[in-house]
Structure 1
Amino acid sequence: MSKEDLKIRLMDTHAGGDVSRIVLGGIDPLPGATVRDQMHYLRDDADGLRRLLLEEPYGIPEMSVDLIVPATDPEAEIGYIIMEVMGYPIYSGSNTICTATAVLEAGLVPKREGLQQFAMESPAGLVQIEAQVNDNVVETITCEGLPSYVDTYRASIHVPTIGDVTYSVAYSGGFYALVDATELGFSLIREEERALADCAHRIVEALQAERGFSHYTLGDVGPLPFLHFMGPVDQVSDHFYRSRSTTYVHPGVICRSTTGTGTSARLALMNYEGRIKPGDKLETVSLRETGFIGEFTGTRQEGPHQVVENTITGKAYVLAHSEIVINPEDPLVEDGSLHHILSSRQTGDD
């Protein structure tokens, strides 16, 4: 190993099967008055970090990366920036669950037995966290889902090789196309994963070519990136529902989990259809039989939209503690937009 080699200290975790690689050390402080500003700097001037950790030989596109940064909001204990194969989402439920677990396990937020609450600062703003700790183990994390709403209800689009597809669109941290899996011939089992990815890609391409979507305060947030397949909704008990689900995020990439933002989008749609009321919960179940529980906590009016307030509950597991060695002479390391943010300190000394 060259003396010029640098290291990035990591904790790999997963929630619902989606791996989130938490960057705990090895990156210099980023410029920016808020975590959102720091995200913009990373996106525009240091995207090499995202590419390094999500591409071969260090990673795979199905993973996510969460960079721990100092919070700028005085109410937050820690800040974090989310990086995925499609770019820099301002929020993600599974990444938030993984990051909250990681900062507790790493001691960045002191872990306390029982129920503890703290806040983290995401690019979307302050996020309230509730952690259940039993025998020093983080059993569950409940985090706020972003305020979610239905933008489009049961529209139709012609998709080449598929035919006419009925879809709705909800915003829950990104715009989601919501489609009925049964109408498209899917049972939402693991053997369908490749076919689901191919089908979703065709639908998303058709939607991106036909129209754009604008958030009521954020404005244009780019082309619709996500599609959520919805299975039938079963009522398990009073105030508790369950539905098989799966989320497409990028060509060839189906999330292992049902995703927190996908679950929030489902709650918004169910509220729009009058199928749930505050206090009701929906468990979304993935192709791998993992699940998140979304709770519909209330609504408020934002301009023309009835916005759904919600929380997402899940469990994250620690997979590994490691150091990534970065050799600038390695031809697979494109350090032009990376090297200037790598800390010259050894991460083991951080």
Structure 2
Amino acid sequence: MHPELNLQLMDTHAGGDVSRIVTGGIMQLPGATVRAQMEYLRDEADGLRRLLLEEPYGIPEMSVDLLVPPTDPEAAAGYIIMEVMGYPIYSGSNTICTATAVLEAGIVPKREGWQSFALEAPAGLVHIDALVHDGVVEAITCGGLPSYIHTYRTSIHVPSIGDVTYSVAYSGGFYALVDAASLGFSLHLNEERKLAECAYHIIEAIQAERGFSHYTLGDVGPLPFLHFMGPLEQLSDHFYRSRSATYVHPGVICRSTTGTGTSARLALMNYEGLIKPGDRLETVSLRETGFIGKFTGVRQEGDHEVVENTITGKSYVLSRADIVVNCDDPMVDCGGLTHILTSAHPE
């Protein structure tokens, strides 16, 4: 018999994407920065990610965010993002959910009106503006990663689909950006399965043909994401809207439009001369949820025009729970996990 092992969770969602915030039960991870702690978790303790994203505890469409003590003195908390594809250094929806959880857990006391604080992601310090009304967190605005266009309107032949025109943006990960209408999609919920299948074939073809390198980070792995873009509607002089869908993994279209997908679209709109600083874009998902990206500035980095931006959305708390990790359960793999659980190491 194994001892009873426990994790404390707060389940949240932003735009439909569920983020499981791990608020307790994990030992202090080694590493001088949150990025280094993420690398330790990835290399030495991947069991936590697999436990909470696989049956019987979770599903691949979820994300996990582990709260850790910050290493930057300006940050109120650190967080490590875990998804089915691995450990992204940044995510807009996960940041919105984590910021909400930090407020709901009292790590940052709630104050009525707007308040500001910082979180430390593996990508670095993230500025947060939170709106609280009658004790409810109504909106989170977080800084998106600087984004740029790597490749503009190139073409690839995809078996079973034909020739596909795409651009590539970096916004925390490399994204293929494709026009949904050109592939026969109107971006509604009944197309979800076909969108996932189509994106899978396009990503497989791109990965087989070429790789991408960030101008400072270098090789960050094969291109993983695809963002389907709907028609752009101009609602006012400075406000645009577009239906959108983001593919992240075989079979998985995000419930939300994703913060990094929205940042990638802003980078493309800037590249095409469609927006200027101060303009906003609302991306609308298959489930009619949305994030608002704001183009806040641009700077030149070598050959690239880099777009600075923010992402605004709302997160909802779904549950607070203790998870019992039963290592005697044949469906539970405790490998790469027990050595970081505090309940496995009683004092």
Name the TM-score class by shorter chain: over 0.9
Q: What is residue 58 of structure 2 aligned with on the other side? A: 59
SS in 1 for 2:260: helix
Letter in 2 for 1:204: I
Deviates more, 1:99-108 or 1:2-11: 2-11
Q: CA deviation at 1:331?
A: 2.0
Q: What is residue 235 of structure 2 aligned with on the other side? A: 236
CA contact (8 A) 1:35 1:80 kept: yes
After superposition, residues 16-35 of structure 1 pair within 5 angstroms as 16-35=15-34
Q: What is residue 94 of structure 2 aligned with on the other side? A: 95
- CA distance in 1 between counterparts of 2:108 and 2:49 reads 25
Residues 68-107 of structure 1: CA distance to partner in whole angstroms, max 9, x if unpaired? 0000001101000000000000000000000000010011
After superposition, residues 1-350 of structure 1 pair within 5 angstroms as 4-344=3-343
Q: CA deviation at 1:122?
A: 0.1
Percent of aligned positions that are identical = 79
SS in 2 for 1:344: helix
Letter in 2 for 1:221: V
**TM-score with structure 1 setting the length:** 0.98
Letter in 2 for 1:72: T
CA contact (8 A) 1:18 1:256 kept: yes
Residues 264-310 of structure 1: CA distance to partner in whole angstroms, max 9, x if unpaired? 00000000000000000000000000000000000011111010000
Q: CA deviation at 1:333?
A: 2.0
Query: 4+ runs of 1 displaced by more than 4 Å?
Result: none
Residues 36-89 of structure 1: CA distance to partner in whole angstroms, max 9, x if unpaired? 000000000000000000000000000000000000001101000000000000
Q: CA deviation at 1:3?
A: 7.3
Letter in 2 for 1:304: D
SS in 2 for 1:337: coil
Q: CA deviation at 1:346?
A: 10
Unpaired stretches in structure 2, ≥5 consecutive residues: none
- CA distance in 2 between counterparts of 1:344 and 1:165 reads 52
Letter in 2 for 1:185: G
- CA distance in 1 between counterparts of 2:138 and 2:302 reads 38
Q: How many residues align?
A: 346
Letter in 1 for 2:192: E
Q: CA deviation at 1:344?
A: 2.1
CA contact (8 A) 1:233 1:243 kept: yes
CA contact (8 A) 1:26 1:346 kept: no
Residues 87-136 of structure 1: CA distance to partner in whole angstroms, max 9, x if unpaired? 00000000000000001001111111110000000000000000000001
- CA distance in 2 between counterparts of 1:147 and 1:53 reads 30
CA contact (8 A) 2:298 2:307 kept: yes
CA contact (8 A) 2:9 2:323 kept: yes
**TM-score with structure 2 setting the length:** 0.98
Residues 124-165 of structure 1: CA distance to partner in whole angstroms, max 9, x if unpaired? 000000000000100000000000000000000000000000
CA contact (8 A) 1:7 1:346 kept: no
SS in 1 for 2:195: helix
Unpaired stretches in structure 1, ≥5 consecutive residues: none
SS in 2 for 1:58: coil
Q: CA deviation at 1:328?
A: 2.0
SS in 1 for 2:222: coil
Letter in 1 for 2:229: M
Q: CA deviation at 1:345?
A: 7.4
CA contact (8 A) 1:6 1:346 kept: no
- CA distance in 2 between counterparts of 1:336 and 1:200 reads 33
Letter in 2 for 1:55: E
SS in 1 for 2:262: helix
CA contact (8 A) 2:13 2:317 kept: yes
CA contact (8 A) 1:145 1:309 kept: yes
Letter in 2 for 1:19: V
- The 1:115/1:255 distance shift into structure 2, 3 A limit, reads same
Letter in 2 for 1:101: T
CA contact (8 A) 2:90 2:122 kept: yes
- CA distance in 1 between counterparts of 2:333 and 2:45 reads 11
CA contact (8 A) 1:26 1:345 kept: no
